[in-house]
Chains A and B, each alone.
Chain A
C-alpha cells in the first residue's frame, strides 16, 4: 500500500524535473530563431513605426498619417483596397470553378491540373506580367480574336486600366485560392451529397444547401488570403495599370526612390500592415468561433 501511495509522487517529481530540463533545452533551441526575428523582423518594424511617427524636426507627429489618409493619397489607398477586393472576388470565382473541377478529377489528372495551375507561379512575375501585356494589348491575342469574330465593341481596352490590373493580379492569386479551395473540397464527404440526393434534393439545392456551406470556411480563407496578398502587391499593378491604378506599394516605391520621403512611406507601410492584421484578425475570429463550437460539443 505504502509503495503504491508513494509511487505517483515519485513519478510526478521525475516528470516535472524532466519537463524543466526539456523546456530549458527548448529555450536554447529557440535562441537562433528569436535572434533572427528580432534583428530582421521586430527591429525593422519598430524602425518603420518610429519613422512614421517622427516629424521633420524630429518630434512626435501624426502628420504622415493624416497626409496618407487625405487627398490623392487616400484615393490611392481606396483604389488599392478596391483592386484587392475585386481580385479576391474574381480569383475566388475562377478558383472555385477550377478547384471544383480538379477535386472531381481522378488523382493522376488532378495532380497534372494542379501542376498547370501552380507552375506559372514559379515563373518570374515580370515575365508573367509581360505575357499578359502581349495577350491583352490592343493588337494582342484576345482582342485580335474578338475582333475577328466581330464581338460588339471590340477591341476592348484591357490594359493600363483597372481591368488589366485585376486580370493580372487574379492570375497571380489563383494558385493560392485553388490550393486552399481544393483542399476543402476534397474534404467534403461525397456520401452527404448522395444522401441529400436520396431525399430528393435537386443538384442546385444540393449545391446551395449542402456543398456551399461545407466549403464556406475555405472560401473565406482563400478570399481573405488573396485580398491580403494583393494589398501589398506591386509589379503587376505598376506594369498593367495606368496612372489611375497607382497602388499603395507603388506609392511607397515612388516616395522612397524618387522623393526621398521615408516618413510618409513608413506611414503607408504601417497602414498596409494594419490592414493585413485586420484581415488576419477576421480569419482568426472565424476560426475561433469554429473551435469554440467544437469545444462546446466535446465538452457536452
Chain B
C-alpha cells in the first residue's frame, strides 16, 4: 500500500518543484438558518500544506463551516481568504478548491476515466495531456483495470479512490473533505487514511477535513479544531488538545476526563498550583491564573491518575471495580467523602491492579492536571 501511495503521489506531483498548498484564513464566520445560529464566529488561520480537521458531534457546525469555505453556503458575515485574497463572494467553481464528500458524488453516467477527466476538460487541458494524466493517476491509484467501468460497478472503497483521483488530478491547492471515509468499513478506512495522509504530505496540499471520528482526526491532522455549538472550542495540535485542554468540554471530549471539584490554595513560589479537593487531598496542577480560594474543577485523564502508597496530599478511596481489558486494567475508585451521586474516578493502569474493595491513594503528576473555573460548562 505505501508503495502504491507513493506512486499516486508521484503521478500527481506538479511538474514544477513548488508545492501546491495555499494558506487559508477565516475571520468571524457566522451562519444562521431561520433564527438558529449554526456557526457562531469561527476564526482560524490555516498554513499552506497544513492538514486541519474540524472535529465535533453532529450539529456542531463543522460541515456548515466547511460548506462556507467551499462556497456552497453563503456566510451571513465573515470572510474567507486564500493567500490573503478575499474569496468570500466567489462561486465554488472559481475557488479552484478540491472537494471530496462522503457520498463520493461520482457522475453515474460517466465511466471512471470520464469522471476523472471531467475537471481537466473544464480547465481546457489538451486531450492528449488529459489522457496521459488520467491514465497515470488511475494506474497509480490501482484503478487502471476499472477505467472503463461505471461508478456503480465499483465497490465503495474503489469509488472513493476514484473521487480522490478526480479531485487530485487537477492539483487544487486546497482540498476540502467532508467525512470522505464515513461510508467505508473500519479496515478500508484505516487504509485510506494512510493514503490520504501520505498524498497530502507528499504534495504539500492544504487539507481541511471534517469528521466526527476522534481517532481519524488524530491520525490525519496537524491541527484539530474542536467544534461545539457553532464555535471552535480549541484549535491546537493533537498533543496540545490532549495535554493542555483549554475547556472542560475539550478535556472530556477527547479521551474522557475525571473532574474533581476543589478550591485554589495560597500561591507557592511557582505560582498558583495547588488545589485542595472537596473530598480531601491536594492536587498539584500546572500554573494557571487564579485567585486563592476560588472554586475550580481539576481535570485528569484516566491514564494519568496514579495509585500510590500513602503520601502527602494523595486522595484516599476504595476500589469499586477493576476490569482487565488487555493492555491495561480499568479501575473505578470512590473517593472518601465524595458526594453521593458523583461518578467514581476512572483510572487506567498497566501495573498490577488492586482488587475491588482495596484501599488506595490516588495522585497525578503536576503536568497532567488541568484546572478550569467551576463556572465553565463541560
> Which A residues contact B (CB, under 8 angstroms)?
189, 191-192, 194-202, 205, 209-210, 213-214, 216, 293-294, 296-297, 300
Contact = CB atoms under 8 A, between A and B. Distances in A.
Interface residues of B, number: 26
A214 B70 CA distance: 25
Nearest to A217: B109
A215 to B, nearest CB: 10
A294 B123 CA distance: 32
Given A197-B91, A199-B118, A200-B123, A297 B153 contact: yes
Contacts of A195: 99, 101, 105
Contact of A196 (B97, B101, B107, B123): B107
B176 to A, nearest CB: 9
Given A199-B93, A201-B93, A293-B150, 9 more contacts: A192-B108, A198-B71, A198-B92, A198-B97, A200-B123, A213-B109, A214-B109, A296-B153, A297-B150
A67 to B, nearest CB: 47
Contacts of B91: 197
A211 to B, nearest CB: 10
B107 A198 contact: no
Interface in B57-103: 70-72, 91-94, 96-97, 99, 101, 103
20 contacts: A191-B101, A192-B105, A192-B107, A194-B72, A195-B99, A195-B105, A196-B107, A197-B93, A198-B70, A198-B93, A199-B93, A199-B118, A199-B119, A199-B166, A200-B119, A200-B122, A201-B93, A213-B109, A214-B108, A300-B153
A290 to B, nearest CB: 11
Interface of B: 70-72, 91-94, 96-97, 99, 101, 103, 105, 107-109, 118-119, 122-123, 149-150, 152-153, 166, 170
Nearest to B170: A199
Contacts of A209: 118
A199 B119 CA distance: 6
Contacts of B93: 197-202
A199 B150 contact: no
A205 B107 CA distance: 14
Contact of A198 (B99, B149, B150): B99
A139 B123 CA distance: 55
Given A297-B149, A297-B150, A297-B153, A197 B92 contact: yes
Contacts of B99: 195, 198
A200 B121 CA distance: 10
Closest 9 pairs (CB-CB, A-B): A297-B153, A200-B93, A195-B105, A199-B119, A213-B109, A198-B92, A198-B99, A200-B122, A297-B152
A173 to B, nearest CB: 27
Contacts of A300: 153
B107 A210 contact: yes
Contacts of A196: 107, 118
A93 B96 CA distance: 35
A200 B72 CA distance: 12
A297 B170 CA distance: 28
A200 B107 contact: no
Nearest to B123: A200
Nearest to A216: B109
A213 B107 CA distance: 10
A45 B105 CA distance: 50
Given A210-B107, A297-B152, A199 B122 contact: yes
Contacts of B70: 198
Contacts of B109: 213-214, 216
